[in-house]
Amino acid sequence: MLAIELGRRGIRTLLVDAKPDTAFNPQANATQARTMEHYRRLGFAHEIRALGLPPDHPTDIAYFTRFSGYELARLELPTAAQAVRKVKELGGSWSAAELPHRVSQKFVEAALRRHAQGLRSNDIRYGWQLEDFSAIESGIDATVRPTKGGEVLRVRSRYLVGADGARSSVRRRLEIRWLGETGIVRDFMGGKMFAVYLRAPGLRAAMPHRRAWMNVAVNAERRAFLMPVDGISEYAFHAALRPGEDADAWTEEDARRVFAQAFGKILDFEVLSVGTWIAGHSLVAERFGADRILIAGDAAHLFTPTGGLGYNTAVEDAVNLGWKLGHVVQDRAHARLLSSYEIERKAVALRNTAYAKRFADSVGLFVALPELEEIGPCGDAARAAASERLNAHARLEFNIPGVTFGARYDGSPVIVPDGTAPPPDEPNQYTPSASPGGRAPHAWLSDGRSIFDTFNFEWTLLALGAEPPDTTAFEVSAAALKIDLKVVRYSEPRLCELYEAPLVLIRPDQIVAWRGERADDARAVLRAATGSLNP
Ligand SMILES: Cc1cc2nc3c(=O)[nH]c(=O)nc-3n(C[C@H](O)[C@H](O)[C@H](O)COP(=O)(O)OP(=O)(O)OC[C@H]3O[C@@H](n4cnc5c(N)ncnc54)[C@H](O)[C@@H]3O)c2cc1C
């Protein structure tokens, strides 16, 4: 994603990834609406929405005792085809250009790679690893090498970004500590998890329930979740280990045994891969880099996957860093702009890891008693209580417009506050607001376009109302400061009401940098928003 942001700006970028190719395993499964809006900004949201499940596959979240047992709770969510239509009818919390999309990361990674490779200034090398690096006065000296062996390549660059995952060697070399909690233990989503990627053409027919995207097994023997990957025969299955179990040496046979426990009967399937991972992290790096070396994604924050926030937070790191690095490298902004990356993104990482932890507590501390599967009044009562609890949980964890749209950069040195209070930060409710520091409020235009589709790739000045103030000062100052600014004018009163000001300066990442009544301070506003004024 960062290579796409930089490549779109024509900046020479070398990306090395030690893996031979993009992910084989499904990995993340939820692309949040805000991430989809970024893909739309880059012009390929429709491609991503066509990936993964077939367009008519429901994306419900459903809870069962076992996958062939009792259904306990369900949150109905639209198919990919419905999402495209529905987003145009929604308002309030879901006032957006895109709805979420349920798709395995393996498909998204391949699409992102294709787009990154399509940009001429990018050199994308899978099967290559970063071996060593050192900071020199004007940048970085690094060595990279093909993973399978071969000649070392010496690289000199102006910046280095370690987007190198949870075990980031870049973070460790900079001696950056994790802050937060790890090793949190819960019945589910706290501790080691056993992951199986499988092909089971008969699974759908063997499942007595309506199709869902997220299927969660809640019983006293084996807590687990199961997601379709291609909507045909491939699935991702993740089981929580019980006290005393260690799945590191587990085999295909174990995969069949554990799957049968969660499913409630034995099912024939082909094992594509097995592995383990740890749920229960809630970690944020103390710093997001030093001077010309920065870290992003899992290298900078580690989540428990409840809420599906790890990859989505990583994408927004890349978006935030992309325009800032672009401006600095192209001498459109002072290098000071980059210090706002850590200030803005660390605050969001702390916020988002806290939300993920809250969701994990909500589902993982629920104790699944054996009565849940009993026949008779005692079982009925246990299931009714579980149903109430899990229905509430599903809405807490999976209907999260507040989490996805509500992240803010209040207090950032490159946001010009106007003294208004930001809306409350709530997971399940988003209040559209153009108070500087948050995502620009969304609106559909009378011609059917999203207002976001009319924004510039770099900076946008919205001039709103029947008689907006003169924007010349912004245009002149932007040209003098080499800032690529487009003025977008709308006379519709509802847009002026939505943004609560006739002039609104919007950053390349669609965050409101400033809003006001007059353009008198245009030069100072632009210099502040690009980090060129001393804080
Ligand atoms: C079961 C599960 C479910 C998940 N579900 C979700 C979800 O629904 N939504 C969500 O948002 N997130 C989810 N996540 C988290 C998500 O997968 C990660 O947050 C995401 O992959 C992070 O991306 P990244 O690029 O920062 O790191 P990674 O994907 O780990 O990529 C880092 C890359 O760096 C490379 N690398 C490392 N060292 C070097 C080196 N020295 N030289 C060259 N290359 C190197 C590695 O090969 C790797 O490809 C889930 C995770 C798990 C385990």
User: Would you say the CB of residue 163 lies under 6 angstroms from ligand 1?
Assistant: yes
Average pLDDT, the chain: 97
Tokens standing for residue 385: 């209580």
User: Would you say the CB of residue 15 lies under 6 angstroms from ligand 1?
Assistant: no
How many angstroms does the Cα of residue 27 sit away from the middle of ligand 1? Answer: 8
Q: Strand 459-464 and strand 503-506: pairing?
A: antiparallel
Report the pLDDT value the prediction gives residue 21, as an integer from 0 to 100: 97
For range 425-429, the mean pLDDT: 98
Q: Considering only CA atoms, which of 29, 22, 24, 23 is closest in space to residue 238?
A: 29
Q: How many CA atoms lie within 13 A of 256 on its CB side?
A: 9
Cα–Cα–Cα angle for 228, 232, 233, rounded to 5 degrees: 75
How far apart (Å, rounded) are the C-alpha atoms in residues 124 and 512?
32
CB neighbour class for 368 (10 Å; exposed up to 12, middle 13-18, buried from 19): buried
| Res. 283: pLDDT tops 60 | yes
How far apart (Å, rounded) are the C-alpha atoms in residues 122 and 4?
8
Mind listing the pLDDT tens digit for each residue in 347-371?
Answer: 999 999 999 999 999 999 999 999 9
User: Would you say the CB of residue 319 lies under 6 angstroms from ligand 1?
Assistant: no
How many angstroms does the Cα of residue 176 sit away from the middle of ligand 1? Answer: 19
For range 506-532, the mean pLDDT: 97
User: Would you say the CB of residue 311 lies under 6 angstroms from ligand 1?
Assistant: yes
Report the pLDDT value the prediction gives residue 534, as an integer from 0 to 100: 54
Mind listing the pLDDT tens digit for each residue in 193-229?
Answer: 999 999 999 999 999 999 999 999 999 999 999 999 9
User: Would you say the CB of residue 310 lies under 6 angstroms from ligand 1?
Assistant: yes
Task: Classify 134 as helix, strand or coil.
Answer: strand
Cα–Cα distances (Å) from 404 to 40, 342, 408, 502, in that order, read 15, 19, 10, 26
User: Would you say the CB of residue 19 lies under 6 angstroms from ligand 1?
Assistant: yes
Residues linked to residue 21 through DSSP beta bridges, in sequence order: none
| Res. 26: pLDDT tops 60 | yes
How far apart (Å, rounded) are the C-alpha atoms in residues 138 and 151?
25
User: Would you say the CB of residue 372 lies under 6 angstroms from ligand 1?
Assistant: no
Q: Strand 293-295 and strand 160-162: pairing?
A: parallel
How far apart (Å, rounded) are the C-alpha atoms in residues 510 and 457?
9
User: Would you say the CB of residue 309 lies under 6 angstroms from ligand 1?
Assistant: yes
Q: Is the pTM of this model over 0.85?
A: yes
Q: Strand 485-490 and strand 503-506: pairing?
A: unpaired
Find all residues with CB under 8 Å of 253, minimum gap 6, and list them: none
User: Would you say the CB of residue 398 lies under 6 angstroms from ligand 1?
Assistant: no
* Helix residue spans in 330-400 (DSSP H): 339-364, 377-398
Supply the residue whose CA is at minimum distance from atom 13 of ligand 1.
Answer: 28
Q: Under a CB-based contact definition with an 8 Å cutoff, are residues 125 and 16 in contact?
A: yes
Report the pLDDT value the prediction gives residue 234, as an integer from 0 to 100: 98
Which uninterrupted H or E stretch holds 403? Answer: helix 401-405
Q: Under a CB-based contact definition with an 8 Å cutoff, are residues 347 and 316 in contact?
A: no
For range 298-311, the mean pLDDT: 97
> What are the φ and ψ backbone dihedral angles of 385, each rounded to 5 degrees?
-65, -40
User: Would you say the CB of residue 278 lies under 6 angstroms from ligand 1?
Assistant: no
User: Would you say the CB of residue 35 lies under 6 angstroms from ligand 1?
Assistant: no
User: Would you say the CB of residue 302 lies under 6 angstroms from ligand 1?
Assistant: no
Supply the residue whose CA is at minimum distance from atom 34 of ligand 1.
Answer: 164
Which uninterrupted H or E stretch holds 284? Answer: strand 282-285
User: Would you say the CB of residue 103 lies under 6 angstroms from ligand 1?
Assistant: no
How many angstroms does the Cα of residue 271 sit away from the middle of ligand 1? Answer: 22
Cα–Cα distances (Å) from 364 to 8, 52, 359, 519, in that order, read 42, 27, 8, 52
How many angstroms does the Cα of residue 436 sit away from the middle of ligand 1? Answer: 31
Supply the residue whose CA is at minimum distance from atom 41 of ligand 1.
Answer: 130
Q: Considering only CA atoms, which of 398, 317, 304 is closest in space to residue 354?
A: 304
Q: Considering only CA atoms, which of 197, 208, 178, 211 is closest in space to residue 239?
A: 197
Report the pLDDT value the prediction gives residue 533, as an integer from 0 to 100: 75
Mind listing the pLDDT tens digit for each residue in 451-500?
Answer: 999 999 999 999 999 999 999 999 999 999 999 999 999 999 999 999 99
User: Would you say the CB of residue 130 lies under 6 angstroms from ligand 1?
Assistant: yes
Q: Strand 214-217 and strand 61-64: pairing?
A: parallel
Q: Considering only CA atoms, which of 350, 352, 334 is closest in space to residue 342?
A: 350
How many angstroms does the Cα of residue 251 sit away from the middle of ligand 1? Answer: 24
Give DSSP secondary structure letters for 199-247: E-TTHHHH--S---SEEEE--SS--EEEEESSSSSEEEEEEEPPTT--G
How many angstroms does the Cα of residue 359 sit away from the middle of ligand 1? Answer: 20
Q: Percent of the chain at pLDDT above 70?
A: 100
How many angstroms does the Cα of residue 2 sit away from the middle of ligand 1? Answer: 14
**Residue in this structure with the two tokens 């979240």, named with its chain if needed:** 61
| Res. 535: pLDDT tops 90 | no
Q: Considering only CA atoms, which of 345, 348, 359, 294 is closest in space to residue 317?
A: 345
Cα–Cα distances (Å) from 147 to 125, 127, 138, 165, in that order, read 11, 5, 28, 17
Q: Percent of the chain at pLDDT above 90?
A: 99
| Res. 108: pLDDT tops 50 | yes
Question: Would you report the helix, strand and coil content of the chain in percent, each value rounded to 5?
Answer: 35, 25, 45
Q: Considering only CA atoms, which of 346, 323, 359 is closest in space to residue 407?
A: 346
For range 53-76, the mean pLDDT: 97
Mind listing the pLDDT tens digit for each residue in 159-196?
Answer: 999 999 999 999 999 999 999 999 999 999 999 999 99
Report the pLDDT value the prediction gives residue 448, as an integer from 0 to 100: 94
Find all residues with CB under 8 Å of 407, minimum gap 6, and list them: 34, 316, 348, 351, 352, 438, 439
How far apart (Å, rounded) are the C-alpha atoms in residues 430 and 371?
38
